[in-house]
Amino acid sequence: MRPRLTILKTDITELDVDAIVNAANKRLAGGGGVDGAIHNKGGIEILRECQEIVTRQGFLETGKAVSTSAGNLPSKYVIHTVGPIYSNSPQDKEQLASCYIESLRIAQLLQVKTIAFPNISTGIYGYPKAEAASVAISTVRNFIDTKAENNCIEEIIFVCFDEENFKLYQQMI
């Protein structure tokens, strides 16, 4: 079954889905933007689990992902991924694509049916929104096409916090 792609303009912390993706920092310590909102609304349980991960394996590398419970959030899991700080290098695109691939791999391991992504790296990390949207959509579509036989995911939601991202995703999907 091919997952449905959906675009929403909403607060990702309010979604009742199996997993939400957090655009995290390497320390998994919460911060600004979506990362801060997830940690604030999710509560101390998420932070404790993140601290345990960092103690066990060190800071999370750019493009990698890990999962925790969702604490007080309506979702079941939070998948934390570290997007690239934009520098206009070819590595930026590879690392951003890896965020989506690694998050989807974890989602499959967790057997989630619904997963929601924020606009990774487009805030303080400075990734141009149109380019980031293109990478996100093409990477997710490619993942779906190559993993179709083992896929448990029924819906992939791109959650846009601002109108500019929302319109970009609408045009591309």
Which residues, including other chains, have CB under 8 Å from residue 137's CB and lie 6 or more apart?
5, 158, 169, 172, 173
Are 161 and 7 in contact, with CB atoms under 8 Å apart?
Answer: no
Which listed residue (35, 92, 145, 162) is catalytic?
Answer: 35
Q: Whole-angstrom distance between the N-terminal and C-terminal Cα of the chain?
A: 18
Per DSSP bridges, beta strands 155-160 and 4-9 are: parallel
- Residue 32 to residue 34: CA distance in whole angstroms: 7
Mark whether 16 is an active-site residue. no
In which order are the strands placed within the sheet that holds 155-160? 4-9, 155-160, 114-117, 19-24, 77-82, 65-69
Residue labelled with tokens 């079941």: 76
Active site positions, annotated = 35
